[in-house]
Structure 1
Amino acid sequence: MVKFQNMDKKMGQIEAFLKRYGMDSLDEAGEVCLSCGMDVPAIVREIQPICFDDACWAYTAGTAAALSSGTAEAREAALIMGEALQAFCVKGSVADERQVGTGHGRLAAMVLSEEVRCFAFLAGHESFAAAEGAIGIVQSADKVRKTPLKVILNGLGKDAARMISRMNGFTYVKTRFDYKTDELAILEEKSYSGGGRARIRCYGADDVREGVAVMERENVDVSISGNGTNMVRFTHLVAGAYKKRCLERNKTYFACASGGGIGRTLGPDETSAGPASYGLTDSMSRMYGDTTFAGSSSVPAHVAMMGFVGMGNNPMVGATVRLAVAVQESRDK
């Protein structure tokens, strides 16, 4: 029996989405996935075990639609999954207004595109959400890419970056920024594992200028910036400043603000932002973001509160990429 959070507020648009792809119900969508050997809820819960039921059903609908569409490419499958995720947004909610579901599809499609060579998590480095997302992307995206995707973490604090690297098996890149010449020097590179995780390069910057220099050195094409403690000291500022640099040299850069708008550390009361605002982080993310998510990077309940499904934004990126890849692999068999 199909049952999930806020079901009564979502079924109208969900059924309309399913009908566009020739299905009458979520039960039928589940059967389509199983007939192709895909246990979608199991895959979703493997990525984030504490996700809500609605996340499993949203990805079931998206996977079934991608399979039914006849698409043979993971990038196209990701865009269809974005449509499904958007159908699971509560009408009139923050997530609906921001088109968060569609944004997730666009972001995953970018990661799977050959034009994108480097993906950056602009991390707070005080949480492991970015690390979890980086691991998921590296494990999935390269299965269908011709050129391996470069993934970096770029956050505030060199000691924090070293610790994140050591605990996750990443490669720590120690840098020094010359403020007189605007030059970034690599002082040390240390890999804390010998496997695929070592491909993830983790930088710790002293300030915004050094963070932007890291983005330029790695020639970042797509980034996602978190909403942790350092969002007004580092993450949003680095993304916005780097966006300006890219525009000046006609480089394409897709910037996503993850978690922008929940205002949990700089809310309306603390910034005199007014009763209709979600705070300073909301305003900052809207200034540079090509797409802005809503809710926590890692906590399902925070995302659900914004009118979306109960799954952290970073794990959701991994789930969208992984299932889109699975659709292509199913077609290639």
Structure 2
Amino acid sequence: MATLFEDFEGRIPQVNKALKEYGFAEGEAGLQAARDLCKSKGFDPYEICQSTQQICFEDAKWAYVLGSAIALKKGEKAGSMTGSEAAAAIGEGLQAFCLPGSVADDRKVGLGHGNLGARLLSEETQCFAFLAGHESFAAAEGAIKIAANANKVRKNKLRVILNGLGKDAAQIISRINGFTYVQTKFDYFNGNGTDKALTVVKEVPYGSNPDRLIVKCYGADDVREGVAIMWHENVDVSITGNSTNPTRFQHPVAGTYKKERLLAGKNYFSVASGGGTGRTLHPDNMAAGPASYGFTDTLGRMHSDAQFAGSSSVPAHVEMMGFMGMGNNPMVGCTVACAVAVAETFKK
């Protein structure tokens, strides 16, 4: 029993509380029953999680099982369940997997992921950006799941973009994943902080899968062009990664764009995906322990409306923050995919 998922003994007390609250037995039996409930409705959150990021840990798969089962139970009680409502309910299950006293528990990252998924399935959100989204494949993993699932329960189609540093990198990621590469040119002499100085040179669709081609992948030369791309797509929700270029691209882009959006009287919800104890670019990685948020984490706090913990892509680092073993970017896609699966069961 203790090998069902990572740090079973530390997580199971909180997991049992959630299981009991929604009418399941405690321990492994309750989790298996939760999975059986989902499978009886025609979907398996365990497999959805596995297919989203193949290197995810076992605890992530069972967290989505619990979250999806909670959403089903809530929907059965209410008589209906929208995708947005399902995502928020899934967050309860994710939160139950946070280790008490950890960075993730303190920030309520599980509930945060559920609420982010709910926002993406809300009609109010029109465009979601993975900012610095092509410096790891994790953003692509998240984008694929969102693009393939979100619009099944939305009236107006959600647009999904990747906006990162480097045009070659954007084109490579587009080719590998079957996205649409968008090459832009920025007029630095006449640039005025919006997209008026931005020109789309060409769009190159790679492949023939329509669910992937709707994902547009942009490559910027610097922060100014990155901000202009955000304006061009009218991004209203984004998640920043903490890759090798956080100080010179994604955090400055998010912060600058947020300032400009607020001045223009427009909404923008900024999420910082990474950070936490001992993150990159900080001299106190080990010595400061929980007292050190790390430099990239600090940068995220300058612009974010929601702060997650751990890597955008590396399961082990998210696990280290006391959450579960799955990159924050693919986690966004998995939340959306599971929420849509739940919502669709109430359409039948």
TM-score norm. by structure 2 comes to: 0.90
Amino acid at match of 1:293: F
Listed as ranges, the matches of 1:114-263 within 5 Å are: 114-123=123-132, 125-182=134-191, 183-196=197-210, 197-261=212-276, 263=278
Checking the alignment, whether the CA contact within 8 Å between 1:118 and 1:221 is kept in structure 2 is yes
Q: Which moves more between the two structures, 187-196 or 198-207?
A: 187-196
Q: Name the CA distance, whole Å, in 2 between partners of 1:162 and 1:49.
A: 23
What is the distance in 1 between the residues matched to 2:288 and 2:33? 46
Structure 2 equivalent of residue 102 of structure 1: 111
CA RMSD of aligned residues (A): 2.0
1:285 equivalenced with 2:285 (yes/no): no
Q: What CA distance in whole angstroms lies between the structure 1 residues aligned with 2:289 and 2:216?
A: 40
Tell whether the 8 Å contact from 1:263 to 1:282 is kept in structure 2 after alignment: no
CA distance in 2 between counterparts of 1:229 and 1:273 reads: 22
Q: What SS does the corresponding residue of 2:131 show, helix, strand or coil?
A: strand
Deviations 1:18-39 (A, max 9, x none): 3332333323323322332332
**Counterpart residue number, 2:194:** none
Partner of 1:325: helix, strand, or coil? helix
CA distance in 2, matches of 1:259, 1:69: 30
Task: Check whether the contact 1:223–1:255 (CA below 8 A) recurs between aligned residues.
Answer: yes
Identity fraction in percent: 60
Aligned residue for 1:52? 57
1:98, 1:136 → 2: CA distance? 25
Change (3 A) 1:331 1:126: same
1:156 and 1:206 in contact (8 A); partners too: yes
What is residue 15 of structure 1 aligned with on the other side? 16
Q: What's the secondary structure of 1:185's corresponding residue?
A: strand
In structure 2, the gaps of 5 or more residues are 192-196
For 1:269 and 1:328, the matched residues in 2 are separated by: 45
Q: In structure 2, do the counterparts of structure 1 residues 207 and 17 end up closer, same or farther at CA, with 3 Å as the change threshold?
A: same
Please state if 1:40 is matched with 2:45. Answer: yes
Q: CA deviation at 1:274?
A: 8.9
* Displacement of 1:123: 1.6
The SS at the match of 1:268 is coil
Looking at structure 1, the residues matched to 169 and 179 of structure 2 have their Cα atoms a distance apart, in angstroms, of 13
Between the aligned partners of 2:86 and 2:134, the Cα distance in structure 1 is: 31
Matched pairs, number: 332
Distance 2:269 2:246 in 1: 18
